[in-house]
Amino acid sequence: MDRIPRNITDNYSEEAVRDRIDWLRRKTGLPLDGIATYSIAPSDARGNIENFVGVAQVPIGLAGPLRINGNHAQGNFFVPLATTEGALVASYNRGMKVIGESGGANARILKDETYIGAIIDFGNLSEVIRFSHWVKENFSRLKEVAESTTHHGKLQSIESSIQGKRALLSFHYTTGDASGLNMITIASKAVIDLILTEVSVGRCVFPATFNDKKSTFMNAIKGRGKSVAADVTISRKLVEGALHTTPEEMMQGCYANSLMSATIGGTLSHNHHFANGLAALFIACGQDVAYVAESSVGSTVMDVSDSGDLYVSVTLPDLIAATMGGGTGLGTAKECLDMLGCYGTGKVQHFAEIIASVLLAGEVSMWGAIMSGEFSEAHRRYGRKQS
Amino acid sequence: MDRIPRNITDNYSEEAVRDRIDWLRRKTGLPLDGIATYSIAPSDARGNIENFVGVAQVPIGLAGPLRINGNHAQGNFFVPLATTEGALVASYNRGMKVIGESGGANARILKDETYIGAIIDFGNLSEVIRFSHWVKENFSRLKEVAESTTHHGKLQSIESSIQGKRALLSFHYTTGDASGLNMITIASKAVIDLILTEVSVGRCVFPATFNDKKSTFMNAIKGRGKSVAADVTISRKLVEGALHTTPEEMMQGCYANSLMSATIGGTLSHNHHFANGLAALFIACGQDVAYVAESSVGSTVMDVSDSGDLYVSVTLPDLIAATMGGGTGLGTAKECLDMLGCYGTGKVQHFAEIIASVLLAGEVSMWGAIMSGEFSEAHRRYGRKQS
Amino acid sequence: MDRIPRNITDNYSEEAVRDRIDWLRRKTGLPLDGIATYSIAPSDARGNIENFVGVAQVPIGLAGPLRINGNHAQGNFFVPLATTEGALVASYNRGMKVIGESGGANARILKDETYIGAIIDFGNLSEVIRFSHWVKENFSRLKEVAESTTHHGKLQSIESSIQGKRALLSFHYTTGDASGLNMITIASKAVIDLILTEVSVGRCVFPATFNDKKSTFMNAIKGRGKSVAADVTISRKLVEGALHTTPEEMMQGCYANSLMSATIGGTLSHNHHFANGLAALFIACGQDVAYVAESSVGSTVMDVSDSGDLYVSVTLPDLIAATMGGGTGLGTAKECLDMLGCYGTGKVQHFAEIIASVLLAGEVSMWGAIMSGEFSEAHRRYGRKQS
Amino acid sequence: MDRIPRNITDNYSEEAVRDRIDWLRRKTGLPLDGIATYSIAPSDARGNIENFVGVAQVPIGLAGPLRINGNHAQGNFFVPLATTEGALVASYNRGMKVIGESGGANARILKDETYIGAIIDFGNLSEVIRFSHWVKENFSRLKEVAESTTHHGKLQSIESSIQGKRALLSFHYTTGDASGLNMITIASKAVIDLILTEVSVGRCVFPATFNDKKSTFMNAIKGRGKSVAADVTISRKLVEGALHTTPEEMMQGCYANSLMSATIGGTLSHNHHFANGLAALFIACGQDVAYVAESSVGSTVMDVSDSGDLYVSVTLPDLIAATMGGGTGLGTAKECLDMLGCYGTGKVQHFAEIIASVLLAGEVSMWGAIMSGEFSEAHRRYGRKQS
Domain identity same for B117 and B106: no
Q: What element of type H or E holds C74?
A: strand C74-82
Residue A287 reports pLDDT greater than 70: yes
Lowest mean pLDDT among A227-241, B261-275, D137-151, D187-201: B261-275
Stretch (H or E) spanning B251: helix B247-260
> Could you tell me if B310 and B251 lie in one domain?
yes
User: A163 — phi, psi (to 5°)?
Assistant: -140, 105
A267 vs C265: CB contact, 8 Å cut-off?
no
Do B85 and B276 meet the contact criterion of CB atoms below 8 Å apart?
Answer: yes
Q: Which of residues 215-244 of A touch C (CB under 8 A)?
A: 217, 220-221
- Pick the last residue of a domain from B27, B54, B81: B54
CB contact under 8 A, D106 and A129: no
The predicted structure's pLDDT at residue C223 = 94
> Which residues of chain D make contact with B299, given a CB cutoff of 8 A?
259, 262-263
Record: contact C303-B165, CB cut-off 8 A: yes
Say if CB B120 and CB B169 are below 8 A apart.
yes
What region, left, alpha or beta, does residue C176 occupy, with left being phi > 0 and alpha being psi -120 to 50 degrees? Answer: left
Assess whether D151 carries a catalytic annotation.
Answer: no
Q: Is B387 inside any structural domain?
A: no
Which residues of B fall within a CB distance of 8 Å from A267? 210-211, 214, 216-218
Interface touch C335/D168, C-beta < 8 Å: no
From CA B360, how far away is CA B364, in angstroms rounded? Answer: 6
Determine what percent of chain B falls in helix, strand and coil, rounding each to the nearest 5: 45, 25, 30
CB contact under 8 A, D56 and C333: yes
- Specify whether B249 is located in the same domain as B340: yes
pLDDT by residue (tens digit) across C205-250?
Answer: 999 988 999 999 999 999 999 999 999 999 999 999 999 999 999 9
Q: Is A305 in Cβ contact with D162 (below 8 Å)?
A: no
- Evaluate the omega torsion of the peptide bond into residue C42 and state whether it is cis, within 30 degrees of 0: no
Distances (CA, A) of C33 to B153, B339, C30, D59, D335: 72, 83, 9, 14, 9
Closest by alpha carbon to A320, among A184, A230, A226, A228? A226
C-alpha span between B55 and C200 (Å, rounded): 55
Q: Which residues of A touch C299 (CB under 8 A)?
A: 259, 262-263
Strands of chain D (E only): list them: 52-70, 74-82, 105-121, 154-163, 166-174, 204-208, 225-234, 299-304, 310-319
| Stretch (H or E) spanning D256 | helix D247-260
Kindly report which listed range (C102-106, D48-52, D260-264, D280-284) carries the lowest average pLDDT score: D260-264
Q: How far apart are CA C211 and CA C368, in angstroms?
A: 33
**C270 with C137, same domain?**
no
Determine, yes or no, domain membership for C222. Answer: no
Higher pLDDT, C157 or A373: C157
Interface check C59 vs B, CB under 8 A: no
pLDDT at C377: 56
Q: Has residue C188 got a pLDDT over 60?
A: yes
pLDDT at A383 over 60: no
Tell me which of C288, C294, C318, C363 is the catalytic residue.
Answer: C288
Give the one of A164, A266, A306 whose C-beta lies nearest to D301's C-beta: A164
Q: Is B259 on the interface with D (CB under 8 A)?
A: yes
Closest CA to A230 of A311, A318, A321: A311
- Between chains, do D217 and B261 touch, taking CB under 8 Å as contact? no
In angstroms, the Cα distances linking B47 to A83, A383, B327 are: 11, 5, 9
- State the average pLDDT for chain D: 93
Please give the torsion angle defined by the CA atoms of residues C190, C192, C198 and C199, in that order, rounded to the nearest 10 degrees. 180
Contacts with D218 from chain A: Cβ below 8 Å:
217, 221
Q: Which residues of chain B have pLDDT under 70?
A: 1, 9, 179, 375-387
- Among D219, D222, D259, D311, which would you mutate to test the B interface (most chain B Cβ atoms within 10 Å of its Cβ)? D259
Residue D7 is predicted with a pLDDT of 79
The verdict on C186 and C308 lying in the same domain is: no
Same domain, D375 and D283: yes
Distance of alpha carbon A383 from the chain centroid: 25
Q: Are strands A52-70 and B52-70 parallel, antiparallel or unpaired?
A: antiparallel
> Is position D370 within any domain?
yes
Question: Quick one: A127 exposed, middle or buried, by C-beta within 10 A (0-12, 13-18, 19+)?
Answer: middle
In the DSSP assignment, the letter for residue D202 is: S
Contact yes or no for B181/B320 (Cβ under 8 A): yes
Question: Mind listing the pLDDT tens digit for each residue in D314-368?
Answer: 999 999 999 999 999 999 999 999 999 999 989 999 999 999 999 999 999 999 9
Cβ contact C166:C129 at 8 Å: no
Cα separation, D295 vs A84, in Å, equals 48
Work out the burial of residue C7: count CB atoms within 10 Å of its CB; fewer than 13 is exposed, 13-18 middle, 19 or more buried: exposed
Q: What is the value of pTM for the model shown?
A: 0.96
List the single best residue of C216, C219, C259, C260 to mutate versus A (max A Cβ within 10 A): C259
Total tally of structural domains belonging to chain D: 3
B291 found inside a domain: yes
- Residues of C within 8 A of A268 (CB-CB) are 266
Indicate which residue of D19, D85, D248, D303 is catalytic.
D85
Chain C residues within an 8 Å CB radius of B125: 106, 108, 229-231, 313
The closest CB to that of B266, out of D217, D298, D301, belongs to D217
Are D218 and C266 an interchain contact pair (Cβ–Cβ within 8 Å)? yes
CB A55 within 8 A of CB B58: yes
What's the confidence (pLDDT) of residue C384?
46
Range of the structural domain that residue A210 is part of: 113-217
Same domain, D92 and D155: no
pLDDT tens digits, A167-181? 999 999 998 777 688
**CA distance linking residue A193 with residue C202, whole number of Å:** 39
- CB pair distance less than 8 Å for C283 and D52: no
Chain B: residue nearest A384 by CA?
A: B47
Catalytic residue annotation of B: 85, 288, 379
Interatomic CA distance for residues B63 and B95, integer angstroms: 10
Mean pLDDT across A85-89? 94
Number of H helices, E strands in chain A: 13, 9
Q: What is the CATH number of the domain that holds A151?
A: 3.30.70.420
Query: Chain-wide mean pLDDT for chain C?
Result: 93
Q: CA D299, CA C111: separation in Å to the nearest integer?
A: 30
The mean pLDDT of C282-293, rounded to a whole number, is 97
Same domain, B33 and B69: no
Integer Cα distance of A132 and A168 in angstroms: 10
Q: pLDDT digits over A336-350, tens only?
A: 999 999 999 899 999
pLDDT(D383) > 60: no
Catalytic residue selected from C19, C22, C85, C248? C85
Is residue D2 in some structural domain? yes
| Helix (H) or strand (E) run with residue A111 in it | strand A105-121
Split at pLDDT 50, 70, 90, the class of C260 is confident
Residue B330 · residue B314 · CB < 8 Å? no
Question: Is A331 within 8 Å of B34 when comparing Cβ atoms?
Answer: yes
The answer to whether A267 contacts B183, with C-beta atoms less than 8 Å apart, is no
Domain membership of residue A75 (yes or no) is: yes
Interhelix angle D274-284/D88-101, nearest 10 degrees: 100
The Cα–Cα gap between B60 and B336 comes to 10
- CATH number of the domain at A254, please: 3.90.770.10
Among D249, D288, D294, D353, the active-site one is D288
Query: D195, D217, D239 — which closes off a domain?
Result: D217
Residues A21 and A71 placed together within one structural domain of the fold: no
pLDDT value of position B386: 46
Q: Let me know if residue D387 belongs to a domain.
A: no
Angle, alpha carbons C154-C156-C159 (nearest 5°): 135
- Return the pLDDT at A1: 54
Specify the pLDDT at position B376: 58
Clarify whether residues C65 and C49 are in a common domain.
no
- Chains A, D: CB contacts within 8 A come to 94
Q: Are residues C48 and C160 in the same domain?
A: no
* pLDDT for the residue numbered D349: 95
Q: Cβ of A332 and B384 within 8 Å?
A: no
Q: What secondary structure does DSSP assign to C184-246, as a single string?
A: HHHHHHHHHHHHHHHS--S-EEEEE-TTTTS-BHHHHHH--EEEEEEEEEE-HHHHHHHHSS-
Q: Determine whether the interchain pair D266/B268 forms a contact, defined as Cβ–Cβ distance below 8 Å.
A: yes
The pLDDT assigned to C173 comes to 96
Q: Looking at the structure, tell me whether residues B33 and B105 fall in a common domain.
A: no
Q: Is B104 on the interface with A (CB under 8 A)?
A: no
Short-list A113, A148, A120, CA closest to A134: A120
User: pLDDT confidence of A387, banded at 50, 70, 90?
Assistant: very low
Is D221 close to B266, i.e. CB distance below 8 A?
yes
D318: which chain B residues are within 8 Å (Cβ-Cβ)? Answer: none
Q: Does C387 score more than 70 pLDDT? A: no
Q: Which of A24, A39, A54 lies at the terminal end of a domain, its last residue?
A: A54
Q: Which of residues 122-141 of D touch B (CB under 8 A)?
A: none
> Mutation test of the interface with chain D: which of B110, B259, B263, B315, choosing the one with the most D Cβ atoms within 10 A?
B263
Q: CB-CB: which of D50, D78, D297 is closest to C61?
A: D50
Residues of C in contact with A298 (CB under 8 A): 263
Label residue D176 by pLDDT band (50, 70, 90).
confident
At how many degrees (to 10) do helices C348-371 and C274-284 cross?
140
Give domain status of residue C387, yes or no.
no
Q: Which of D72, D106, D132, D161 has the highest number of chain A CBs within 10 A, making it the mutation to test binding with A?
A: D161
308-337 of A, contacting C, C-beta below 8 A: 315
The three-class DSSP label of residue D227 is: strand
Question: What ipTM describes this predicted complex?
Answer: 0.96
pLDDT attached to residue D2: 79
Cα distance between residue A281 and residue A359, in whole Å: 10
Between CA B291 and CA B302 the distance in angstroms is 26
- The residue with greater pLDDT, C181 or B114, is B114
